[in-house]
Each structure stands twice: as C-alpha cells, then as structure tokens.
Amino acid sequence: MTLRERASQPVATRNRAATGVRPRRRWSGRYLYVVPAVVYLVGFMFYPLAYTLYLSVHDVDVSNFIRGGAEFIGARNYIDFLSSRNFAPSLVITLAFTFGSLLFQHVIGFAFAMFFNRRFPLAGLLQAIMLVVWVLPPVVSASLWRWIYSGSFGLLNEALSWIGIHTDEAWLVNPRTALAAVIVANIWVGIPFHMLLLYAGLQGLPGTIYEAASIDGTSRWQRFRHLTLPLMRPVMLTTLLLGFIHTFKVFDIVYVMTAGGPADATSVLSIVVYQLSFDYFRLGLGAAAANVLLVIPLIISIIYIWFRRREDVTS
C-alpha cells in the first residue's frame, strides 16, 4: 500500500494499518482542527465553571472578593444554602413554574404542530408569525404582560369586563395570582418552541403507515393514539428535556415582570442566586446556589439519557 493510498483511507483504518513510522507532522496537524473548539470550551465553559466551583467552596464575600484571602470552607456554602429559609419555597416555586409551563406549552404546541401539519394555504406565514413570539426579547414580552396584567388599565381586566366580570385585580401584585400570571406569560412565550420541534417531528413521519392504517379502517383518534403518539415519543421527550432545561433556569421574564415579588411569591431559584451574588454580595453562597441550580437539570438529563439507552436496548 502506497502512502498516497493510505492517506485517502479513513483515519481509524489507516492507524490500524500503520505498521511503520508514522509521519509526525501530519499527526500534530490533525489536532489543529480542534484547537478553536478547545479554546472556546476552556475559555467560555470550563473556566467559568471551575471558577464558580472555586467560589462555592470558599467563604467569599465583599471583604475578600477583590483583596483575596477567602478561606476554604468545603461544603459549608452548600449546606447553608440548602438549609436556608429561601431554598425550599423557592425550589417549589421553580418546579411549579417549570412543570406548569411545560405541560401547557407542550400540549398547546402539539396541537399547533398537528394543525400546521395539515398543509393549508398560508400555513407558512402563520407559522412565521407564531415564531415572532419566540424571537421577541424576553424584556419586551415581559413588559407587554406587565401591561396586560395591570389592575387599572390592563388588557386582561378590560377583556374580562366584556364578558361581564368587572374587577380591578392587579394580577402581578397579588401573591395568590402572581405565580400563575407569570406562568401563563411564559407558556405564551414557549409555545412556538414546542410547536417548531414537534412540527419537524411530524413532518418526518412516514405517510405510508397512515395510509395502511386508514385502509385497515382506523379512526382519526386511533391513528393519533396508536401511531402518532408512539412515533413521536422520542421527539416529545427531547423537546421536553430541552424545555425543562430552558425553563428551570428562567430569569429574565420573571425578573422583569415581578423581580421575584410580591412577597417572594415568584422568587424562582435563579432570582435567589442573583440576589445572593449581586444584591447581598455573598459571592461564595451565590456560587453554591448557582451550582445547585445547575445540578438539577443535569440530573434530569442523565436520567433522560439512561432512559433512552434502556429503551433502545429493549426495543
């Protein structure tokens, strides 16, 4: 085998075939291709992550953040955060926010995906309009919803008055309604994301199966229940996982709408992290809280991957 022939073979085969001296220059040249990716990962992911880890195990506060000399305190920050009076309520609020948002985003997104899958005139245009909602900066959509929920001149109360319900309820100001109000706004923002991914999934379904099923005399519901849902399962799970990660760390829309209030009613974990670090300057504690905020989606992702792997083996 000539060198030229070897060079045109895939890398793995070539290495296996290489019995003599390997040309060294070529070997190192290959690694140049991954340098940009490595530099990016190290600079923008590993370093911040490592620094957050470093902060989280040191007693970093305002007096030693710049001056240095923070004491190593092991898991103290984690214990303090997990046992703080804010943690449990805030985790419950975050989970309620996440699952409340995901459930409705997904179901409504699925319905829209089915709708657009029917291919009718202007479907593309309508879809593009829906995507605008998703592309809108969160500050804009959050400000919009603030106005909708306003008590004295809000759109929601105005709309309610058309159907005979007269109220001046300020939805974001009442701790009993604020969380639900923020969730509804977030559902609105998230529907297009779910719709888009599910629509792509529906487009990939083989039409022949449906044809065969209709020849067998199945009803539309049966085809949805026994063909579409099982076929779409992987897409649905992936969409839900991405949605979970995205929603669990929500910050901007809640911060703009309520900043965690009233009376901490919408104080999701990311807002607690922000307050600890940037309001109270408890940087060590804030870093530990940020890591807790990271670990939860990580666990969910690992469960998901494990679940998928098991599913592959059994089917």
Partner 1 sequence: MPTPRHPFAASRRSRLPIFAMAVSALAITLTACGGDGGGGDGGGDGSDGDAAEGPVTITWWDYYQPGAQEDAVVGALDEYEATHSGVTIDRQFIAYDDLKQSLLQSAGASALPDIAIINGPDHQAFAELGIAADLTDRFDEFDLYPEGAIESASLDGRIYGLPITANTLALFYNTDMLEEAGVEPPTTWEDMSSVAAALTTSDRYGLAYSAVNNQQAVFQWLPTLWQAGGDLTDLGAPEATEALEFWAGLMNDGSVSREALNWDQAQVAAEFGQGRAAMMINGPWQIPFLATEAPDLDYGVALLPTHTESASALGGENYLVVDGPNQDAALDLLTWLQQPDQVAALAEGTGSLPTRSDVPPFSDDPSIATFTEQLQVAQPRAYGADYAEIADHVVVAIQSALSGTASAEDALADAADAVEPLMDQ
Query: Per CB under 8 A, which of residues 91..110 are in contact with partner 1?
Result: none
Tokens representing 287? 């870093």
- C-alpha dist (Å) from residue 50 to 41, 78, 269: 12, 16, 21
> Does residue 204 touch partner 1 according to CB under 8 A?
yes
Rg (CA), the chain: 26
* CB of 16 or CB of 233, closer to partner 1: 233
Segment 225 to 244, residues that bind partner 1, using CB under 8 A: 227, 230-235, 238, 241-242
* CB of 5 or CB of 252, closer to partner 1: 252
Of 4-12, 14-22, 63-71, 119-127: span binding partner 1 (CB under 8 A): 63-71
Segment 18 to 57, residues that bind partner 1, using CB under 8 A: 44-45, 48-49, 52
Name the residue with tokens 């979970």. 244
> Does residue 128 touch partner 1 according to CB under 8 A?
no
* 192/170 Cα distance (integer angstroms): 28
* 290/287 Cα distance (integer angstroms): 5
> Does residue 174 touch partner 1 according to CB under 8 A?
yes
| Residue 263 exposed, middle or buried by CB count within 10 Å (0-12, 13-18, 19+) | exposed
Segment 256 to 315, residues that bind partner 1, using CB under 8 A: 258-265, 270, 273-275, 277-281, 290, 293-294, 297-298, 301, 304-305, 308-309, 312, 315
> Does residue 71 touch partner 1 according to CB under 8 A?
no
* CB of 150 or CB of 184, closer to partner 1: 150
* CB of 192 or CB of 260, closer to partner 1: 260
* CB of 52 or CB of 127, closer to partner 1: 52
- C-alpha dist (Å) from residue 189 to 2, 82, 258, 263: 60, 31, 16, 25
* 292/79 Cα distance (integer angstroms): 11
Tokens representing 31? 């690694």
